[in-house]
Structure 1
Amino acid sequence: MERVAFLIDATGARVDCLLNPETVQVTRLAGVRRRTSTEGQLTGVGLADDPLVFTGGGRTELVLDLLFDVDFVESQVRPDDVRSLTRPLWMLAENSAVEHGWLRPPLVRLVWGKTWNVPGVIVAVAERFDAFTGTGSPRRSWLRLKLVRVAESADQAQAGFEEELTAAGTPTAAPGGAVVAAGDGAAAPGYSGVRFDLLAHDALGSPLRWRLLAEHNRITDPMSVPAGTALAVPPLTGAPATDPTTRAPAGGTAPDGLR
């Protein structure tokens, strides 16, 4: 399973997240503000809305909810404190880069699977700890991270969005072929670690078509499919574009530090 990673542009260093996020929230704020004067905000009698100034540009924000747990570490030597895993993400919000003589957070690129590649800076991190040991060391962390996309031209933003949609809608396996279920070493007990939504993306071009893939292979419980299982790829004729029943349960409550 491909996990979320942050690539630091200046050095090429990679900061990996332990697990894929449960949720991603994307917000777009247009370049619009209320018209003001030296005496304050401008209003007008009879106007239904305040006069606006269209400044151009805007702001695109991504908020990721991430889970870290020392029990999921794929290593014989596991850390005792989950903060050793999340500290690199905190450092990406520090003013460790210099631009035109001013300190700033480093430029990073959010990379996730085949369809997420977003340049930006991390402007906020909030973390909630639990599963403490007897010595007070937290073993689990719910971390919320906010990334603001760096300035791009409108043409670059549109081209990047079209590339994401193209990648998300293009199957990598031909109908009548097969895809092999890859396991994830960070699987929880009782779960095979196979991401059936990612299999549906590879086989049918969309993770929302996981039910079609499961029914074609007569699978009643996709979460119990053993790693290494070969699954037949069905034809897309009549395949639903969306499936409202595919919403996954959240892994926990994120901290309230980033609202």
Structure 2
Amino acid sequence: MERVAFLVDESGTRVDCLLNPETVQVTRLAGVRPRGGADGQLTGAGLADDPLVFTGGGRTELVLDLLFDADFVEAQVRPEDVRTLTRPLWLLAENSAAEHGWLRPPLVRLVWGKTWNVPGVIVAVAERFDAFTLTGTPRRSWLRLKLVRVAEGAEAARAGFEEELAAASSPTVPPGSAVVAAADGAAEPGWSGVRFDLLAHDALGSPLRWRLLAEHNRISDPLTVPAGTPLAVPPVTASAAGSGGAP
């Protein structure tokens, strides 16, 4: 099992879970639809295929199989019901955010290691429970989730990062010094519990600069950094400040 996280762009909330990497499914649907008119779909006699309209764009979907288990929570007080852990993902499938006066699901980012950072919206959630207690309370959940990628143009993404960085607090640690990775106390097996986004916020002024901090310390997977590891603080160059050091 692999450790992945969902980051809510608006609030900065993080939802951690376990992922079976053998069950990641990515689907790309091109911007194509059957040609139609007011009376319905157009067809032609003798044609081998229906006439098509090329609309541009398209749709990229990711289907993830996630595992939640109340017994994996390494906190002083473990939840009795695994639904306490999965409810945040259900809420992300609700139309709770507003854009141009219309309600929509919140924008989230799927973060997995250093190579997966996918912005999107959660459009479907299905959950299967087992490991029930004598009172009927589920302790384990197998959750299937569908994430639809949200298109980000280069200029829009750059403007969004610059806006976030402008609102971020100033770095509290001078370049050339070090910060110590601390665990948040809620780690599961396979994860050290270190919040790398919070380290980047403290050291570099914004959680968006987590990649800059990771690359400077030659860390391939920030989710597996052992607690207590000293991390060198890099200088924030003009290019890194503009991009946030993030994809």
TM-score between both structures, scaled by the size of structure 2: 0.61
Structure 2: how far apart are the matches of 1:156 and 1:116?
Answer: 20
**Cα RMSD (Å) of the superposition?**
2.6
The Cα of 1:154 is off from its aligned counterpart by 9.0
Structure 2: how far apart are the matches of 1:33 and 1:140?
Answer: 41
Aligned-partner residue type, residue 104 of structure 1:
R
Matched, 1:21 2:20: yes
Paired residues for 1:77-96 under 5 Å: 77-96=77-96
The residue aligned with 1:120 is: 120
The Cα of 1:117 is off from its aligned counterpart by 0.4
The Cα of 1:89 is off from its aligned counterpart by 0.9
Paired residues for 1:95-134 under 5 Å: 95-134=95-134
The Cα of 1:3 is off from its aligned counterpart by 2.0
Structure 1: how far apart are the matches of 2:66 and 2:188?
Answer: 14
Aligned-partner residue type, residue 4 of structure 1:
V
- Structure 1 stretches of 4+ with a deviation exceeding 6 A read 154-157
The Cα of 1:14 is off from its aligned counterpart by 1.4
Instruction: Give the 3-state SS of the residue equivalent to 2:71 in structure 1.
Output: helix
Long gaps (5+) in structure 1: 158-184, 188-192, 195-226, 228-259
Check whether the contact 2:2–2:20 (CA below 8 A) recurs between aligned residues.
no
Change (3 A) 1:62 1:154: farther
The residue aligned with 1:143 is: 143
Structure 2: how far apart are the matches of 1:117 and 1:35?
Answer: 35
Instruction: Give the 3-state SS of the residue equivalent to 1:4 in structure 2.
Output: strand
Paired residues for 1:178-257 under 5 Å: 186-187=188-189
Matched, 1:54 2:67: no
The Cα of 1:8 is off from its aligned counterpart by 1.1
Of Structure 1 and Structure 2, the greater helix share is in 2
Instruction: Give the 3-state SS of the residue equivalent to 1:59 in structure 2.
Output: strand
The Cα of 1:94 is off from its aligned counterpart by 1.3
Aligned-partner residue type, residue 102 of structure 1:
W
Structure 2: how far apart are the matches of 1:5 and 1:124?
Answer: 17
Aligned-partner residue type, residue 72 of structure 2:
F
Q: Which deviations, in whole Å up to 9, do the C-alpha atoms of 1:60-115 show, x marking residues without a partner?
A: 01110001111111223211110011111111111111111111111111111111
Over the matched positions of the two proteins, sequence identity in percent amounts to 82
Change (3 A) 1:131 1:116: same
Change (3 A) 1:139 1:11: same
The Cα of 1:21 is off from its aligned counterpart by 3.1
Structure 1: how far apart are the matches of 2:137 and 2:72?
Answer: 16
Instruction: Give the 3-state SS of the residue equivalent to 1:3 in structure 2.
Output: strand
The Cα of 1:40 is off from its aligned counterpart by 1.7
Structure 2: how far apart are the matches of 1:142 and 1:155?
Answer: 38
The residue aligned with 1:4 is: 4
The Cα of 1:155 is off from its aligned counterpart by 10
Change (3 A) 1:51 1:156: farther
Structure 2: how far apart are the matches of 1:54 and 1:70?
Answer: 48
The residue aligned with 1:74 is: 74
TM-score between both structures, scaled by the size of structure 1: 0.58
Structure 1: how far apart are the matches of 2:104 and 2:72?
Answer: 33
Long gaps (5+) in structure 2: 158-186, 192-225, 227-247
Aligned-partner residue type, residue 127 of structure 2:
E
Structure 2: how far apart are the matches of 1:59 and 1:45?
Answer: 31
Check whether the contact 2:19–2:64 (CA below 8 A) recurs between aligned residues.
no
Aligned-partner residue type, residue 8 of structure 2:
I
